[in-house]
Structure 1
Amino acid sequence: MWNKFKWLMSGYSNHKLALTWLVVGTPAIAAIAMLQPMVLKYLFDVVKYGKGELPALLQPIGAMLQRYELSPLAEALTIQLILAVVVLVVYNALQGTRAYMNQRLEWEFRQRAFASTTEKGPDFFNAFRTGDLVTRMTDDVAEKLAWFACSGIFRFYEAVLIVVIGVAMMLTLDVRLTVYTVTPLPILIIIFMFTSSSLDKRFDNLQARISDLNNAMESCFSGTRVVKAYNREEAWKEKFAATIGARRKAEISTVRAWAAIDSLYMYIWQFGIALVVLIGGIMAAKGSITIGDFVAFTSYIFLLVFPMFDIGQFIVKGRQSAVSIGRLMEIQNFPAMVSNHNGDHSAIDFEKIRFANVSFRFANSEHYSLKDVEFEVNKGETVALVGRVGSGKSTVINLLTRLVDPNEGMIMLDSRPLKSLSLDNYRDIIGYVPQEPVLFSDTIEGNVRFGDNSISAEKVTEVIKLAQLDSQLERFPNGLQTRIGTRGLTISGGEKQRVAIARALARNPKILILDDCTSALDARTEERLWSALHEVMPDMTCFVVTHRAKTLRKANKILLFEEGKIIDRGTHDELLVRSDSYRELYSRSELQEAVEG
């Protein structure tokens, strides 16, 4: 729990002035507010008995007012008015600060959580579903944590101060009545101790069900074409109904528990209030205490009602927020597979890329995706990676892009280990086009720039032409400014791949990685693409995962993978002569290209 509190308070590291104001201003307002019932005591005693005594803290104000020769009644009313104005001004300032910090901390917590996800590797996204991550960064932050992070904590702080100061002031009025007032407190503490674990489980279950619902919606919307193609709408409706039903059940269970505890909390406290008012009224009637004492005591009791409610809210919201903090800490503390932003920041140039006995497997797996892989690639060469599904080609791509690092062996640029280079600097020289092009709900130009405004309009036009997309622009209503929808749903598969290729080329990469990304291009378009690339960027080193016959013939080197190992290597002609596996693969590819025409 202490780690969660430190995590929460770390949000204030950039807001020390606001924190200081809240820490200092809150007890000030609590103390001033707790003086008001004593002024009422003075007022009623003056009216009833013709005399009364102001609290010591207010006597300097009373002395100042005596210059104006006010009556005791007018003096009491004036002091009460002054206190009310001070409370109003200071309390509004505190409320404004709390409201601002609620919003600010919500933004910072979400930014911190999102930033941590950008550092993670493939294992992280295997462990956490998209809908779950969305829930943690939206519902956990906005609905469960934002209010508690400032208002919840400082309203509790204020409530505790009011209760402590109020009880202290009540003790000065009558010890017996004060004892009756605080009698419910041990009962409330026992209730909290016995219910906290149950609340934790309910809150945790609720957040998990919200994650399930968001994940179901994300899966359905992103896979809507597949759902319709297989006529599975009714099945998905049933699945969605079951998911939302589970969330509703968890929500109702949580609300019932919360309402029961909250009601019990308030009823016990109100019983104490009724007891004190009854006994205090009898004591005032008998003359054991003055009318002013009774009025002041009753005022203190009613002033403590909302603070006690805030304490109850803090207990419930605190357990809920602790669950949400734990969920955010879980994604932030998930170890990054790759991190080296502080490595060598010098300009990266190379003549050779070398894999030296590289092996890789995921931490929770005994199976090696790659084992003892060794090869060299010279600057400007095109290397084709071929093999069956699961043979290790994609792992090589992940290692080259540093989405993962080797468990054994080393990848080197000339004599420099890849791990020694700044991750940001290294990735700046890479152009990567995945097998499934990832496009965003933006314009074609926006997808090519990918947030890099340093890329000129001329460069965008150049790479669009290189990617063989220029001939397709005429069919788009607004040319490069045409919006292509989420994941590029409004354009064809081949057009998606060409936009993704243009994006990779826009940064003038020294290493271009194409992960079977030309599969939706016809053979002639791919031929023009490679001719243009070799002409415009002759020094660019290319790694290509492909089974296209024409691409294989153009490669300077071909690496044939099987079960995580390189079983053969060489040029197209060399492998065609000596490798049965390669001949079989190449024959299938030629047949496919012949069918395509």
Structure 2
Amino acid sequence: MKAFFLLRFFKSRKFSYAAGFAFMFAASFIQTLFPKVLGSSVDLMKERGFALHPVLMNVLWMVLIAFAVFVFTFLWRNMIIANGRNLECYIREELFRHLLTLSPAFYGKRKTGDLIAHAINDISAVRMTFGPATAMSFNGIVICISSIYFMFAAVDARLALLTLAPLPFIIALMLYIGRKIQSRFRIVQDQFGLVSDKVQENISGIRVIKAYAQERSEIEKFGALSSGMAQSNVNLIKVSAALPPLIEFGFAVCFVINLFYGSRMVMRGDISVGDFVAFNGYLSLIVSPIVSIGRVVTIFQRGMASLGRLYDIMSVQPDVTDSPHALRLRPEGEIELRHLTFYHDGARVPALSDVSLRLSKGRTLGIIGPTGAGKSTLAALLLRLYNTEPGQILLDGRDIGDYSLTYLRESYAFVPQDTFVFASSVKDNIVFFKDTYGDEEVEAASRLSLIADSISRFPDGYDTLLGDRGVNLSGGQKQRMAIARALIRNPAVLILDDALSAVDTVTEGRILESLRRARKGKTNIIISHRISALMEADEIIVLDKGFIRERGTHEKLLKKGGMYYDLYTAQQEDGQPQA
């Protein structure tokens, strides 16, 4: 389906394309009538005592030809070139829509800068191919065929054959260089992706770079990438720059042949002076399209390279999709795991092994364990960011795969470890760009997450614009804003994945207390490295290497004296106050 995504666009605009090409054909063909009329005028005026009326009629015809070419050219450019811009918009929207269907596993293998290059440079190159380059090609083909026909039929076939003899060599040269351009342009686009990714990475990590005084090192790394991109462009220019002068040289040979043999034919009386003028006119008409074909070949090869890169993305099928009969129901909060085992792509060791638990609606589950234990993987599976075997995750008694993804995820609110803040206003970040929430709801969610006081001190309150990824916020402010974003939805299931790690334990305790009051009757899952965040949970599980090692309440787990007790003791010794 993705391999033919362009066909949908062309089918939807087939009439405007057909009209555009019809007008282009008319403009190009009418243009080739001009040399014949000009040659006829020369023959009329070379006669002694020529009649003025036929010459004036020819002049009138030339004016009409010029006017008709202007009108038809105006019409086709407004259709073909405008459709090129519409195509650019269409591809960008299709790419963005497709990217949003892909799972986190895809983004783990792709660099952000490379995807940005697809969305900007590659799409622009495709637009140039199916807009200006296609128009120039069609226009050039019509002019060349018409001109060559008139050169053979209306002037002299022998002169045409001799004059156009270098043409096959010119075309072969263009095809050879075109293949070189395509391969080198793809390298240029790949280098652009690396540069874009480095810029994005440095802007996002500016605080870390400054904190570790890594400015000089990052400048050197960027300089190396920039130099690599410059060299790739130079390699491309070395090939593409050779094409126009070689084509022009080939046509210079054509003109020399025409001048030598054509003038001799005029002197022998084989053709008239007017025919010779007309022949030169046709040859001049051919020169412009053929010379421009050098540029067209460059554009086409760049476009094909970019289209290949886009197809590489568009052909990636989403891992997680709705089943044909997906239920349009929102789960109410009862969760059951039955012997859940999950492997990440390419992994030999499971991230989760034989995990079973039951969480009733309205209860709170705490999850703790060392780094890499599978805590975040479990959260991702509950959101169905990855597929699992049927029957391993049940929501309200139904398999998670039976639910529509939209309805499933609308019933959840998830606050990840790496909280994301958009470069927009505070309010937009909390409501997630939806206009369904009023100011009172925004303020209530902010108070519950204890971010309201901080917002009140911002220059423009809830209208304060935040920097890229919230660069002007502290880690704790980002987390509390992300919690407000989750709470305003009043979800059936709230998942906090180490979402309080950047706040102190006192603030953590106050936030959890407000959550307990606001979330009565709702299901909550709290993942944390801090035992203080889990003490009030109805049940706590201890994950280690993908297995549930222990489960129970805070008090029961302490009495067991196992892994949970060891974590508790270690945190007490580190001086972490317990909420």
Does the alignment reach a TM-score above 0.5? yes
Matched, 1:22 2:20: yes
Match of 1:314 among 288, 293, 296: 296
Whichever residue aligns with residue 170 of structure 1, its letter is: M
TM-score between both structures, scaled by the size of structure 2 = 0.95
Q: Which runs of 5+ in 2 are unaligned?
A: none
- What is residue 58 of structure 1 aligned with on the other side? none
SS at match of 1:138: helix
Q: In structure 2, what is the Cα distance between the partners aligned to 1:4 and 1:195?
A: 30
* Distance change (3 Å), C-alpha of 1:474 and 1:426: same
- What is residue 133 of structure 2 aligned with on the other side? 152
Superposed CA deviations along residues 135-164 of structure 1, whole A, max 9, x for unmatched, are 11112222x222222111121011111111
- What is residue 34 of structure 2 aligned with on the other side? 36
| 1:595 Cα offset (Å) | 5.6
Matched, 1:524 2:506: yes
| 1:335 Cα offset (Å) | 2.6
Match of 1:164 among 145, 168, 177: 145
| 1:224 Cα offset (Å) | 1.3
Q: In structure 2, what is the Cα distance between the partners aligned to 1:126 and 1:36?
A: 61
Q: Is the 8 A contact 1:160 1:311 kept in 2?
A: no
Q: In structure 2, what is the Cα distance between the partners aligned to 1:276 and 1:464?
A: 82
Match of 1:47 among 24, 33, 45: 45
Q: Is the 8 A contact 2:390 2:399 kept in 1?
A: no
Q: Is the 8 A contact 1:8 1:149 kept in 2?
A: no
Q: In structure 2, what is the Cα distance between the partners aligned to 1:167 and 1:341?
A: 59
Where do residues 60-79 of structure 1 align in structure 2 (5 Å cutoff)? 71-79=53-61
- What is residue 521 of structure 2 aligned with on the other side? 539
- What is residue 383 of structure 1 aligned with on the other side? 365
Where do residues 415-434 of structure 1 align in structure 2 (5 Å cutoff)? 415-434=397-416
Q: Is the 8 A contact 1:392 1:563 kept in 2?
A: yes
TM-score between both structures, scaled by the size of structure 1 = 0.92
- What is residue 367 of structure 1 aligned with on the other side? 349
Q: In structure 2, what is the Cα distance between the partners aligned to 1:368 and 1:295?
A: 81
* Range that drifts further, 351-360 or 477-486: 351-360
* Range that drifts further, 192-201 or 88-97: 192-201
Match of 1:357 among 335, 339, 345: 339
SS at match of 1:71: helix
Q: In structure 2, what is the Cα distance between the partners aligned to 1:207 and 1:222?
A: 23
Superposed CA deviations along residues 550-590 of structure 1, whole A, max 9, x for unmatched, are 32211111121111222222222222222521111122334
Q: In structure 1, what is the Cα distance between the partners aligned to 2:137 and 2:8?
A: 19
Q: Is the 8 A contact 1:497 1:518 kept in 2?
A: yes
| 1:409 Cα offset (Å) | 5.0
Q: In structure 1, what is the Cα distance between the partners aligned to 2:290 and 2:182?
A: 21
SS at match of 1:553: coil
Matched, 1:568 2:545: no
Q: In structure 2, what is the Cα distance between the partners aligned to 1:121 and 1:573?
A: 39
Superposed CA deviations along residues 98-148 of structure 1, whole A, max 9, x for unmatched, are 332232222111111122111111121121101111111112222x22222
- What is residue 88 of structure 1 aligned with on the other side? 70
* Distance change (3 Å), C-alpha of 1:328 and 1:318: same
| 1:591 Cα offset (Å) | 4.1
* Distance change (3 Å), C-alpha of 1:436 and 1:563: same
- What is residue 247 of structure 1 aligned with on the other side? 229
- What is residue 59 of structure 1 aligned with on the other side? none
Q: In structure 1, what is the Cα distance between the partners aligned to 2:388 and 2:408?
A: 16
Q: Is the 8 A contact 1:342 1:422 kept in 2?
A: no
Q: In structure 1, what is the Cα distance between the partners aligned to 2:523 and 2:2?
A: 48
Q: In structure 2, what is the Cα distance between the partners aligned to 1:4 and 1:151?
A: 24
Superposed CA deviations along residues 413-448 of structure 1, whole A, max 9, x for unmatched, are 123221121111111111111112100111211110
Q: In structure 2, what is the Cα distance between the partners aligned to 1:505 and 1:129?
A: 32
| 1:192 Cα offset (Å) | 3.6
Q: In structure 1, what is the Cα distance between the partners aligned to 2:218 and 2:184?
A: 27
Q: In structure 2, what is the Cα distance between the partners aligned to 1:592 and 1:534?
A: 27
Whichever residue aligns with residue 156 of structure 1, its letter is: S
Q: Is the 8 A contact 1:547 1:589 kept in 2?
A: no
SS at match of 1:304: helix
* Range that drifts further, 502-511 or 180-189: 180-189
Q: In structure 1, what is the Cα distance between the partners aligned to 2:472 and 2:31?
A: 63
| 1:298 Cα offset (Å) | 0.6
* Distance change (3 Å), C-alpha of 1:285 and 1:483: same
Where do residues 75-474 of structure 1 align in structure 2 (5 Å cutoff)? 75-142=57-124, 144-172=125-153, 173-340=155-322, 344-350=326-332, 352-407=334-389, 409-474=391-456
Whichever residue aligns with residue 548 of structure 1, its letter is: R
| 1:343 Cα offset (Å) | 5.1
* Range that drifts further, 230-239 or 468-477: 468-477
Q: In structure 2, what is the Cα distance between the partners aligned to 1:98 and 1:304?
A: 22
Q: Which runs of 4+ in 1 moved over 6 A?
A: none
Q: Is the 8 A contact 1:361 1:407 kept in 2?
A: no
Whichever residue aligns with residue 95 of structure 2, its letter is: A
Q: Is the 8 A contact 1:513 1:543 kept in 2?
A: yes
Superposed CA deviations along residues 368-424 of structure 1, whole A, max 9, x for unmatched, are 212222221111111111111111111111111222111575322123221121111
Q: In structure 1, what is the Cα distance between the partners aligned to 2:201 and 2:16?
A: 42
- What is residue 465 of structure 2 aligned with on the other side? 483
Q: Is the 8 A contact 1:361 1:370 kept in 2?
A: yes
Q: In structure 2, what is the Cα distance between the partners aligned to 1:208 and 1:256?
A: 18
Q: In structure 1, what is the Cα distance between the partners aligned to 2:178 and 2:66?
A: 38
Q: Which runs of 5+ in 1 are unaligned?
A: 53-68
* Range that drifts further, 322-331 or 559-568: 559-568
Q: Is the 8 A contact 2:333 2:492 kept in 1?
A: no
SS at match of 1:159: helix
Q: In structure 1, what is the Cα distance between the partners aligned to 2:531 and 2:345?
A: 36
* Range that drifts further, 364-373 or 189-198: 189-198
Q: Is the 8 A contact 2:369 2:542 kept in 1?
A: yes
Q: Is the 8 A contact 2:143 2:286 kept in 1?
A: yes
CA RMSD in angstroms, aligned pairs only: 2.3
Q: In structure 2, what is the Cα distance between the partners aligned to 1:491 and 1:484?
A: 8
Q: In structure 1, what is the Cα distance between the partners aligned to 2:88 and 2:230?
A: 26
Aligned pairs, how many? 578
Q: In structure 2, what is the Cα distance between the partners aligned to 1:338 and 1:345?
A: 15
Q: In structure 2, what is the Cα distance between the partners aligned to 1:266 and 1:357?
A: 73
Superposed CA deviations along residues 30-53 of structure 1, whole A, max 9, x for unmatched, are 21111111211222222235899x
Q: Is the 8 A contact 1:358 1:408 kept in 2?
A: no
Q: In structure 1, what is the Cα distance between the partners aligned to 2:183 and 2:331?
A: 55
SS at match of 2:350: coil
Q: In structure 2, what is the Cα distance between the partners aligned to 1:280 and 1:296?
A: 11
Whichever residue aligns with residue 374 of structure 2, its letter is: G
